[in-house]
């Protein structure tokens, strides 16, 4: 397993623990639909949370959350639509990001609820 995969897996585990500690129920980890993957799907009882986890070792040119560009957002939106349709979910969907930076034996976890919104297209 590459260092990137190890950091990503460790980050997803920490993000799960972080959300659970705040009362979230984790419904899915690494849920896939076609080419789309959602790191975490959770609920806080009011909303369905589509959560993208971005982890890095040490800060680089950009913060981890900044890597969730428009293309990634569109993939998450498509995956969320597929999940809601397939599972017949009747909750409003929100898109969150958990950003984790590892430094030595420490980690900085930042949570961005409602990080972006789907754009309606005409």
The domain tally of the chain equals: 1
CATH number at residue 90: 3.40.1350.10
Q: Is the pLDDT of residue 26 over 90?
A: yes
Closest CA to 29 of 18, 37, 40: 40
Q: Does the predicted model carry a pTM greater than 0.75?
A: yes
Indicate whether 122 belongs to any domain: no
Calculate mean pLDDT across residues 92-116: 93
CB distance 25 to 70 below 8 Å = no
Which H, E and C letters describe 77-116, residue by residue?
HHHHHHHHHHHCCCCEEEEEEEEEEEECCEEEEEEEEEEE
Indicate whether 91 belongs to any domain: yes
Domain that holds residue 9: 3-116
Q: Is the pLDDT of residue 122 over 60?
A: no
Closest CA to 100 of 1, 2, 17: 17
Tokens of 80: 């969320």
Indicate whether 58 belongs to any domain: yes
Calculate mean pLDDT across residues 79-104: 95
Beta bridge partners of 42: 26, 49
pLDDT for 120: 62
pLDDT for 73: 94
pLDDT for 79: 96
pLDDT for 99: 94
pLDDT in tens, 42-87: 999 999 999 999 998 875 667 778 889 999 999 999 999 999 999 9
Three-state SS at 113: strand
Among 3-7, 17-21, 25-29, 54-58, the range scoring the smallest mean pLDDT is 3-7
Indicate whether 81 belongs to any domain: yes
């Amino acid at each position: 397993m590459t260092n990137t995969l190890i950091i990503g897996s460790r980050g997803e585990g920490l993000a799960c623990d972080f959300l659970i500690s705040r009362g979230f129920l984790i419904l899915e980890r690494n849920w896939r639909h076609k080419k789309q993957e959602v790191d975490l799907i959770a609920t806080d009882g009011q909303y369905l949370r589509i959560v993208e986890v971005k982890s890095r070792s040490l800060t680089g040119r950009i913060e981890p959350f900044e890597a969730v560009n428009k293309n990634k957002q569109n993939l998450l939106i498509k995956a969320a639509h597929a999940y809601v349709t397939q599972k017949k979910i009747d909750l409003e969907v929100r898109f969150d990001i958990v950003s984790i930076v590892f430094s030595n034996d420490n980690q900085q976890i930042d949570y961005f609820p409602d990080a972006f919104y789907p754009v309606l297209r005409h």
